[in-house]
Structure 1
């Protein structure tokens, strides 16, 4: 059994840093254990449990310096577990790994007073390599289909609802038209994705179509919701709320993709938001012009 000599002459600042690292390690151990319970692949489970075991060992090392026995931060464990249900375990692991950069820097600074910090630092590097090797989550294989469904729904329906808002000036009529258009477009997009995947000899064409359809109908429901909640004559309020929701959807989804797939966030978010809002603005003008020149008054 390895005997670790503890340096009791470390500074108070270093002790505080070690205490934070101890808390982080014991909390992440609990998170990895929770994530492992939801995985079907035994190899992935084993990797996560091994990493959880090492995190626990690191916590014990820091505990020899703090002389404290800490418990996982319950809220943080529950929060990451919730995120894994919504966004998948890949997103959560990548999100946690982003936080490791600062921790690894802390380990390097600690190494002057605490020799074990160097070993823990190398363990963390091994963790990252192991994690990257296991990230083959099913849903990430269909990110292209998800992006297709969401992008098309946001661009098409944003323009449609914006145009209808001033053409009809009645939230109930806009919601009715939006739902009919959105549901029809969902089946159209899903079937198109299925045929496209089949033409490329994709054995999982049904899953591709399913992910496309799910993202499309999700966007439809969220975007039409303001028109159902506001009074019929408050179409401007509904339109503004819908545009805010569109930006929020783009923000959340772009962040998810940027973390899970290691892609740039700012450029993708700006591009997608600009396209959707530009289409909404053009359709808004078209709606006014159509109403004026056709002389339609509802």
Structure 2
């Protein structure tokens, strides 16, 4: 029991620190006060657990860093949605001790926190999620198509990786520059042009790296193409899962749309590469 309570205490201490950091980042006074109230509740929960375990427990630095970094990059709502799930798990953990009145009281407060966070997330705009979506969508749609065309036209995995890497880096810089200019022209207070450009560029480059790796691991170009398409499908699934959680929208709809676009363009590019290969082969 003590071990379970220590784990629960660490979770509470971590969330307490996360709420404190999020409150410091939040510019809206009302939302900041909401986060601070929840932080004080979590701090009180930590004291109750400390009285039961007899130990001081430090927050998990990796989780705190992750939540704060995501809040800085994608906005507070992206993190609040994830913490809401943590609050539900914590509520269930306290409910395992129905004989402890103080734990039942904490469980009810955790339930209230989840409801407050759900409302809070709906009020907060995802400042940079559009920049991430732009980088990811463009990389998946454009780059899967380009790699599919390169695969059949060049038929050499290392050459495809080299050509794709050069193309991907140039495209990432171009997309970042376009996002910078577009955000700057909007002149809105919510998005900083340079940060938006970095989000778009880094997302594009990360996607490019994931899609190129199969061409460095396999000696057969078609095998590398198959693994690359599987990697693209995995990236689409993971992103759309988190996006649907944050936006409370249909996972299936976004997943199918992105998958059809990416694989449709890849199929067309593959066909173009095949035609060009036939044409150049006939010329020689």
The question of a shared fold, defined as TM-score above 0.5 by the shorter chain, is answered with yes
Of 54, 57, 74 in structure 1, the residue corresponding to residue 44 of structure 2 is 57
Q: C-alpha distance in 2, partners of 1:107/1:87?
A: 28
Provide the C-alpha distance between the structure 2 equivalents of 1:28 and 1:297, rounded to a whole number of angstroms: 70
Query: Conserved in 2, the CA contact under 8 Å of 1:26 and 1:72?
Result: yes
2:143 to 135, 157, 176: 157
Does 2:27 match 1:27? no
1:212 is matched with 200
Question: Which residue, out of 109, 115, 129, partners 1:123?
Answer: 109
| Among 209, 217, 220, the residue aligned to 1:230 | 217
Q: Hey, what's the Cα distance between the residues in 2 that align with 1:257 and 1:48?
A: 22
Q: Are 1:250 and 2:236 matched, yes or no?
A: yes
Aligned CA distance change for structure 1 residues 82 and 272 (closer, same or farther; 3 Å): farther
Aligned 8 A contact 2:236 2:258 in 1: yes
Unaligned runs of 5+ in 2: none
Whichever of the two has the greater Rg, that structure is: 1
User: Which deviates the most, 93-102 or 47-56?
Assistant: 47-56
Could you say what the CA RMSD is over the residues aligned between the two structures, in angstroms? Answer: 4.0
CA distance in 1, matches of 2:22, 2:107: 28
Aligned residue number for residue 172 of structure 1? 158
Q: Confirm whether residue 285 of structure 1 aligns to residue 271 of structure 2.
A: yes
* Structure 1 residue ranges without an equivalent (≥5): 1-15
CA distance in 1, matches of 2:5, 2:79: 19
Seen in structure 2, the aligned counterparts of structure 1 residues 124 and 22 have a Cα distance that, compared at 3 Å, is: farther
Distance, in Å, in 2 between the alignment partners of 1:196 and 1:49 is: 35
Call closer, same or farther: CA 1:162–1:268 in 2, change over 3 Å: same
- Whether 1:95 aligns to 2:78 is no
The alpha-carbon deviation at position 154 of structure 1 amounts to: 0.7
TM-score with structure 1 setting the length: 0.70
- SS in structure 2 opposite 1:32? helix
Question: CA separation in 2, counterparts of 1:230 and 1:239?
Answer: 11
Inter-partner Cα distance in structure 2 for 1:30 and 1:157? 39
In structure 1, distance between residues paired with 2:157 and 2:282: 17
What is the distance in 2 between the residues matched to 1:41 and 1:121?
27
Looking at structure 1, the residues matched to 53 and 217 of structure 2 have their Cα atoms a distance apart, in angstroms, of 55
Residues of 1 paired with 2:93 and 2:169: CA distance? 52
Shift in CA distance, 289/141, structure 1 to aligned 2, threshold 3 Å = same
Deviations 1:268-298 (A, max 9, x none): 2233223212322332233222211332799
- How far does the alpha carbon of each residue in 1:207-243 deviate from its partner, in whole angstroms, 9 at most, with x for none? 333322222222223222332x236x42123222322
Q: CA 1:235 to 1:176, structure 2 compared with 1: closer, same or farther past 3 Å?
A: same
Q: 1:41 aligns with which of 20, 25, 38?
A: 25
Partner of 2:126: helix, strand, or coil?
Answer: helix
Query: Does the aligned pair in 1 maintain the 2:18–2:67 contact within 8 Å?
Result: no
**2:60 maps to 1:80:** no
Q: Which residue of 2 aligns with 1:270?
A: 256
